[in-house]
Amino acid sequence: MSSKKPLKSKIKDTNTLCEYSLNTKHISLLMAACTLTILMVIVGCSQETKNTQNQVSQIITQSQSPTVSNTSQKQELRIVYSKLGSLAVMRKQGTLEKSLVAKNFTVKWLEFAAGPQALEALNAGSLDIAATAESPPIFAQAAGTPLVYIATTPFNGRGVSFLVPKNSPIKSVADFKGKKVSFQKASIAHYVLLKALQKGGLKLSDVKSLFLPPPDANVAFSQGGIDVWVIWEPYITRNVQKNIGRVLIDGQGLQDLGSFYTTSRKFANEHPEILKVFLEEFIKAEDWSHKNIDKLAELETGDVGIDVPTLKTIHSKAVYGLLPITDEVVKKQQQIADLWYAQGLLPKKVNVKDGVLTPKEYAAFTPDSIKSNK
């Protein structure tokens, strides 16, 4: 067997190609061709590099945060999408879009499975305003998300419940031991479960935790794969009405704060006037929702696939209004953060004040109606 290496192994680069020829008479001709090839490659690579650089430059320009000031084109305010409540009213009625025309802003609504996913988008720079319960911002802060709290809501313990299958033998939290309990990790459901277990003399390690987002948990619960599901509306009422599950307990006595509206520090610094418009329009939507429950249900029914009477039942549990970020709110949020850390569920201790603006900064975008609620 010949020991000679294959042709491909010998031709390692352009110089080797120029040196390698079975016919020595053609060496000069081949070298001339190689020289021309090298020149063509250099020119081609140079042109390709320029084209690539131009493409990359275009991609970077296109992917830059739309919140960067640009007077030649409209900018985009990206808000978390909701099918229920005042955010849904704003989206369906288009009131925010109309108010932002003069500010050269359009609005884009983005849907997420739950609060933690929305705050991941906020951290990635692809969302400007998020709406979550109290726990997701704490976990986001622990992960280094540069968020700031812009407003909060009155807390409502009826907004989250512990669902068990219709014929479940479970009668109290003490019966959760060893059971499969589903909840969205780092959410309000996670927090109220923790609080309920503490009251029942149990630890989180005493249950089999299933970290499922609501859509997946809904399927698993309907198929009998979950013993306890800690969840919010509209899943609560929908499962009860379908006779799939029953409410064991709700979050009353387990919650300390309401929901939070958050943004990135960058957006808060660059566009306080946009935040003010958003909050003003949200307050109007809240007032309309509170006074028009029937119309609110009619407006939502197509999106959520729930009949109007059921939606009215859901909204009968709701609380309305926005509250400012006060020292008391920050103190309570810090207590919640400390509890998460003590449970070993945060990678590091969180200082909630890192997500709090100065009084002057809040004054720049907080409507007077919210300020008066202090």
C-alpha dihedral sign at 79, 80, 81, 86: negative
| pLDDT number for residue 78 | 98
Q: CATH 3.40.190.10 occupies which residues in the chain?
A: 75-155+257-371, 157-250
Assess contact for 160 and 232: CB atoms under 8 A.
yes
d(CA 217, CA 235): 10
| pLDDT number for residue 61 | 37
d(CA 232, CA 234): 6
Does pLDDT of 14 surpass 90?
no
| pLDDT number for residue 256 | 83
Strand segments, DSSP code E, in 290-351 are: none
The pLDDT tens digits for 236-277 are: 999 999 999 999 999 999 988 999 999 999 999 999 999 999
Cis peptide before 234 (omega within 30 of 0): yes
Q: Which residues are 132's β-sheet partners?
A: 260
Share above pLDDT 70 across residues of the chain, in percent, rounded to a whole number: 80
Does pLDDT of 3 surpass 80?
no
| pLDDT number for residue 72 | 56
Top-confidence residue, 12 or 151:
151
| Residues 325-344, mean pLDDT to the nearest whole number | 95
Does pLDDT of 374 surpass 80?
no
Mean pLDDT of the chain: 84
240 CB-side CA count, 13 A: 17
The count of residues in the chain is: 374
3-state secondary structure of 127: coil
| pLDDT number for residue 20 | 36
| pLDDT number for residue 158 | 87
Top-confidence residue, 42 or 322:
322
Share above pLDDT 90 across residues of the chain, in percent, rounded to a whole number: 72
| pLDDT number for residue 111 | 96
The pLDDT tens digits for 66-78 are: 444 444 588 999 9
Does pLDDT of 35 surpass 90?
no
Phi/psi-derived region of residue 94, left when phi > 0, alpha when psi is between -120 and 50, beta in every other case: left
- What would the CATH number be for the domain defined by 157-250? 3.40.190.10
Assess contact for 163 and 229: CB atoms under 8 A.
yes
Does pLDDT of 352 surpass 50?
yes
The pLDDT tens digits for 108-138 are: 999 998 999 999 999 999 999 999 999 999 9
Judged on CB neighbours under 10 Å (0-12, 13-18, 19+), 332 is middle
| pLDDT number for residue 46 | 38
Assess contact for 357 and 326: CB atoms under 8 A.
no
| pLDDT number for residue 73 | 83
Whose CA is closest to 301, among 135, 114, 84, 91?
Answer: 84
Q: Could you say which of 3.30.450.70, 3.30.565.10, 3.40.190.10, 3.20.20.140 is the CATH number of the domain covering 75-155+257-371? A: 3.40.190.10
Top-confidence residue, 358 or 38:
358
Q: How many CB atoms lie within 10 A of CB 172?
A: 10
Buried b (16+ CB within 10 A) or exposed e, 352-366: beebbbeeebbeebb
Q: Which residue has the tokens 């008391």?
A: 328
| pLDDT number for residue 339 | 93
Assess contact for 121 and 127: CB atoms under 8 A.
yes
Q: What angle do CA 302, 304, 307 make, to 5 degrees?
A: 70
